[in-house]
Amino acid sequence: EKYEMTFPMLYLRSFLFEPWLEFGGMININCSESKLSAGIVFQTKPFYGGKPHQVTAEIKGQSDNTTARISGDW
């Protein structure tokens, strides 16, 4: 099987104090042979509070129905 995927944006945060990198945005993963797809959202950390490196994903089957929803951190 062949998969096509896009990539999220990469952000450099707090470069004056302790720099760290963060992904942000949505990526799509698609397989044209099996008709499976996934959309993964990399959520950026809010300015105050919140947790870094949060992700949510939605996996779709052949009939374009959502088969799973996933959330967590990486």
Which domains, from first to last, does the chain contain?
Answer: 3-73 (2.40.160.120)
Burial 14-26 (b: 16+ CB within 10 A, else e): eeeeeeeebbeee
pLDDT at residue 23 tops 90: yes
pLDDT at residue 47 tops 80: no
| pTM: predicted TM-score of the whole model, two decimal places | 0.82
pLDDT at residue 37 tops 80: yes
